[in-house]
Amino acid sequence: MKLVKGKRSKARFINLKTGELITLIYNPGETKTQTVNQKPDNVLGLEKKGTEVSYKYVFDAKYRIEKEPESSFYPDSNNNPGPKVDDINTMHRYRDSIVYENKVSKFTFEKTMFGAYVLFPYDDEELYKEHHFYKSIESVNIGGLPFLPGATSLVQKLLDELISDSKESAFERTTLPRGIEEKLAVVDWKKRDVLIGTFRSRKQFDICFDKNFYYISVKQLPDERLPIHYVALYQTKNKFGIDAGIRYYGEVLRTTIVRRKNIKEVPLTHANAEELYYRFVVRRWNMLERVIEPKEHGFPCDYTNMFLLQHSEYIPELLIESEEKYRFYALEN
């Protein structure tokens, strides 16, 4: 592979032991995000057997070093040379903000980076093993590595570990909030028994909230989605403005099929009096510990599970379909 400064270069390899695909991209260019596009130097992509996720890692070359880290802001207690704090912060930005839009659902965005590492000019690899920014690789998968012609052993060691990791080991390199692992271990990702309910107007929302019920056309709710055990009330941006998001959910006590004309609490607004609807009677509306914020103006009727409802920060996370994809969203403690 010929590397040319400023130009994108890509090489693919096969792991002869596992048959897994390894992709190395030099100067990949701007990677789209939902905020500011990012420009990492090198991206390593690993496709693990038994998973649909591509595990990606940033290796970013920085030609500078903190030689006299005596500032109270520098985290290494031994005051040994290491990467610049600003460069480590850049790795956090790469790892946490590089996303792509899921092509299956236009409302779902997935993080694509599992780790990010600064490559900095330093040659004492043995001394650096005690550095804060080397140990941080094991704890949060972000840190720095010495990289000079005569100092490549720590980079090689990490590459060997990443390439030989199983998908389960790769998961362990991602960090999750405290207490999540136990709950995550028992999640049934095929079970989507929470209906994300939307509204045409504030008036419709107020009526459903006051009367402890929700309704939806039978056409919008396929048989395979039943039974619905919970309804989450989603106030969309285009209808509710600053009040947008999910604040409330309720347990379904009873589900019946009725004609639209028999939902008398809500006046007819369309010529659909004979259309069949599901009517969900809810025990009460419970308030979530925090509002699940929207990232878009519209949203289709969709489904999630109770784990995601209780642990999501943004609406698109409710559509995550597997543990693998959930870990893309997980934030550090």
Residue 320 pLDDT greater than 60, yes or no: yes
Please give the model's pTM, rounded to 2 decimal places: 0.53
- Helix, coil or strand: residue 152: coil
What burial class does residue 121 get, using C-beta atoms within 10 Å of its C-beta: 0-12 exposed, 13-18 middle, 19+ buried? middle
Q: What is the mean pLDDT of residues 301-312?
A: 89
In the chain, what is the straight-line distance between the N-terminal and C-terminal CA atoms, in Å?
Answer: 40
Give the tens place of pLDDT for each residue, 17-68: 888 888 888 876 545 444 445 567 788 888 877 666 677 888 988 888 987 7
Cα dihedral 257, 288, 329, 173, rounded to 10, equals -120
**Distance between CA 198 and CA 302 in Å, rounded?**
9
**The predicted structure's pLDDT at residue 332:** 38
CA 77 → CA 50, 52, 82, 91, 195, distances in Å?
Answer: 41, 41, 12, 21, 50
Pairing of strands 142-146, 113-120: parallel
Relative to beta strand 113-120, strand 54-61 is parallel
Per-residue model confidence as pLDDT tens digits over 85-124: 888 888 887 766 554 444 444 444 445 567 889 999 999 9
Q: Is the pLDDT of residue 292 over 60?
A: yes
Question: What's the confidence (pLDDT) of residue 311?
Answer: 87
- What confidence category does residue 268 fall into, taking pLDDT thresholds of 50, 70 and 90? confident
- Give the rounded percent of residues in the chain with a pLDDT score beyond 90: 35
81 cis-preceded (ω within 30 degrees of 0): no
Q: pLDDT at position 330, please?
A: 59
* pLDDT digit string, tens, across residues 143-200: 999 999 999 999 999 998 888 876 555 555 555 555 566 677 788 998 999 999 999 8
Question: Cα dihedral sign for 30, 36, 329, 103?
Answer: negative
pLDDT at position 301: 66
- Buried/exposed 127-141: b ≥16 CB within 10 Å, e otherwise: ebeebbbbebbeebb
d(CA 89, CA 328): 18
> What domains are defined for the chain?
9-174 (no CATH), 184-329 (2.30.130)
| Dist CA 186 CA 173 (whole Å) | 20
**Which tokens in the block code for residue 171?**
């998961």
**pLDDT on residue 258:** 94
Mean pLDDT of 126-149: 89
pLDDT, greater one: 327 or 129: 129
194-239 tens-digit pLDDT = 999 999 899 999 999 999 999 999 999 988 888 999 999 999 888 8
